[in-house]
Chains A and B, each alone.
Chain A
Amino acid sequence: MRPEVHLRPDRLRRHAAAADQLADALLSALLGPGRPVLAGPADDELARLETGARRAIGELAEMASVLRSAASAAESADTATAGALGRILP
Chain B
Amino acid sequence: MTGPDPPSAVDHEPARWWCGALATALRDAAIEAGGIAGGITQDWLDDRGREWAERAERVARELVRDAEAAEDLAGALAREAGGPGGSVASSGGPGASGLPGAAQVAAALAAAGALRPGARLGGTEATRVDDERGIRIAQLPDQGADGG
Chain A nearest CB from B34 CB (Å) reads 11
**Which residue of chain A has the shortest Cβ distance to B65 in the bound complex?**
A52
In the complex, number of A-B residue pairs with CB atoms less than 8 Å apart:
95
Q: Is A77 an interface residue (CB 8 A)?
A: no
Binary per-residue interface labels of chain A (1-43) against chain B in the complex, 1 for a CB within 8 Å, 0 otherwise = 0010011100110110011001001100110101110100010
- Are B66's CB and A70's CB within 8 A? no
Residues on B with beta carbons closer than 8 Å to the beta carbon of A82: none
When the two chains form their complex, are residues B66 and A49 in contact, meaning their CB atoms are under 8 A apart? yes
Residue tally, chain B, CB below 8 Å to A: 37
Residue of B nearest to A35 (CB): B18
| B25 in contact with A36 (CB, 8 Å) | no
Chain A residues touching B, range: 35 or more
Task: Tell me which of B39, B63, B77 contacts A15 (CB under 8 A).
Answer: B39
Q: Which residues of B contact A (CB under 8 A)?
A: 14-15, 17-19, 21-22, 25-26, 28-29, 32-33, 35-36, 39-40, 42-46, 48-49, 52, 55-56, 59, 62-63, 66, 69-70, 73, 76-77, 80
The 3 closest A-B pairs by CB, nearest first: A36-B15, A29-B25, A11-B43
